[in-house]
Amino acid sequence: MHCRKQTVVLCFITGCGLKQNSENIGLDRIKGKGETMSHIYDLIIIGSGPAGLAAAVYAQRAKLDTLVVEKAMVSGGQVLTTYEVDNYPGLPGIGGYDLGLKFREHADQLGAAFAEDDVVRIEDQGKIKRVVCEHETYESRALILATGAVHRKLGIPGEEELAGMGVSYCATCDGAFFRNKVTAVIGGGDVAVEDAIFLARMCSKVYLIHRRNELRAAKSLQETLLGLENVEVIWDTVADCINGDGMVRSLSVTNVKTGAKTDLDVQGVFIAVGISPESKAFEGIVDMDHGYIRAGEDGVTSVPGIFAAGDVRTKPLRQIITAAADGANAVTSVERYLIEN
């Protein structure tokens, strides 16, 4: 099969089994659509991925008056689109959707309040922080920004259809599923080269596909990569189509200089062309580094009372477990801030 378009039908059940009553989403403290809230929360968490939901759990246990603002109907963030998670302690092989539901259910059981809204901007008014959304404006004494980041996509046929079925954006997460198999990594930066080196430890062969004739990765990484016998770099080449029927079977590529087309027999395709943090609503408020919010393990940003957790902050490793840890650490910092202010 070459570049055959596949049709995927997704069925959604309203509420996804989660309670949507006034106690669950905090309607007793939220005014009607279009009105501004007068209630001031202790903490507002923006985002409901692993970092945001972990923060919600810790905030509830700390008895903080908290609201979680999420833009999607279903909580969980990127984990929802992960076919299988095999590196979260105690839950080997759990489906990403199921793990996301467990995170949300835990927060629900503790009485966390949720509001579905899209954040337009935040405002720092000193002791009070304002969260301006499409439908409401919320106020709190502290904020945790946990909006995450999204992997950039190639936009080629087969990418969406085979996501989680051999197409991955995280070698650290999914590499173990391809032991003794043939894989391809697409990209030329540090992450792509690191992914290829990582996969070479377990895969029988790894192709690194790069559209130029030289890599952008650090020289030390390049030296390590080029010294691996089971890695082949295919230069001046772009991916055209990911082929398969339920699972990845091959990758169609084209040499941009000669026009020659080739099909590579692979079982996995790892796309490493960059990550974009979801931080536009916070521009001009907190210090950033290429869109990532500058914050350490404690979640402290450049603005007192505003904290960052998960993939949206500057950090070397972006995983479900590190995002959850960020949420816990950020709430600890929030508690300290509220006591001192």
Over residues 7-25, mean pLDDT: 34
Q: Which CATH superfamily is domain 167-271 in?
A: FAD/NAD(P)-binding domain (3.50.50.60)
- What DSSP element (H or E) covers 131? strand 128-133
Per-residue pLDDT at 106: 97
Using pLDDT thresholds of 50, 70 and 90, give the confidence band for residue 37: low
Does residue 203 have an active-site annotation? no
Query: Side chain identity at 64, as an amino acid letter?
Result: L
Per-residue pLDDT at 93: 86
Per-residue pLDDT at 191: 87
- What DSSP element (H or E) covers 296? none
Out of 108, 117, 173, 241, which one is annotated catalytic? 173
Out of 108, 174, 240, 326, which one is annotated catalytic? 174
pLDDT: which is higher, 21 or 268: 268
Q: What is the pLDDT of residues 125-135, one digit of tens each?
A: 999 999 999 99
111-123 burial, b at 16+ Cβ within 10 Å, e below that, comes to ebbbbbbebeebe
Does residue 289 have an active-site annotation? no
- What DSSP element (H or E) covers 96? helix 96-109
Using pLDDT thresholds of 50, 70 and 90, give the confidence band for residue 12: very low
Does residue 170 have an active-site annotation? yes
Average pLDDT over the chain reads 88
Over residues 296-308, mean pLDDT: 98
Which residues touch 269 (CB under 8 Å, ≥6 apart)? Answer: 162, 166, 167, 168, 183, 184, 186, 239, 242, 248, 251
pLDDT: which is higher, 34 or 327: 327
d(CA 272, CA 60): 37
> Same CATH topology for 19-150+275-340 and 167-271?
yes
Per-residue pLDDT at 86: 81
d(CA 328, CA 334): 10
Burial of 144 (0-12, 13-18, 19+ CB in 10 A): buried
Over residues 140-157, mean pLDDT: 95
Burial of 33 (0-12, 13-18, 19+ CB in 10 A): exposed
Q: Are 231 and 194 in contact (CB under 8 A)?
A: no
Q: Is the pLDDT of residue 13 over 80?
A: no
- What DSSP element (H or E) covers 61? helix 50-61
**CA neighbor of 54 nearest in space, from 256, 335, 316, 329:** 329
Over residues 211-229, mean pLDDT: 94
CATH 3.60.20.10 fits 19-150+275-340, yes or no: no
Per-domain residue ranges of the chain: 19-150+275-340, 167-271
Angle between helices 320-340 and 50-61 (to 10 degrees): 40
Percent of the chain with pLDDT over 70: 88
Which has the minimum average pLDDT: 71-75, 160-164, 175-179? 71-75
Over residues 142-155, mean pLDDT: 94
Q: Is the pLDDT of residue 39 over 50?
A: yes
Q: Are 62 and 336 in contact (CB under 8 A)?
A: no
Using pLDDT thresholds of 50, 70 and 90, give the confidence band for residue 9: very low
Which has the minimum average pLDDT: 38-42, 206-210, 303-307? 38-42
Q: Is the pLDDT of residue 82 over 60?
A: yes
Per-residue pLDDT at 83: 65
Neighbour tally for 70: CB within 10 Å: 26
295-334 burial, b at 16+ Cβ within 10 Å, e below that, comes to beeebbbebebbbbbbbbbbbeebbbebbbbbbbbbbebb
Tokens of 257: 């200089």
Which has the minimum average pLDDT: 190-194, 208-212, 287-291, 330-334? 190-194
Over residues 97-124, mean pLDDT: 95
Per-residue pLDDT at 81: 63
**CA neighbor of 147 nearest in space, from 327, 17, 290:** 327
Over residues 275-280, mean pLDDT: 92
Out of 108, 117, 133, 170, which one is annotated catalytic? 170
Q: Is the pLDDT of residue 159 over 80?
A: yes
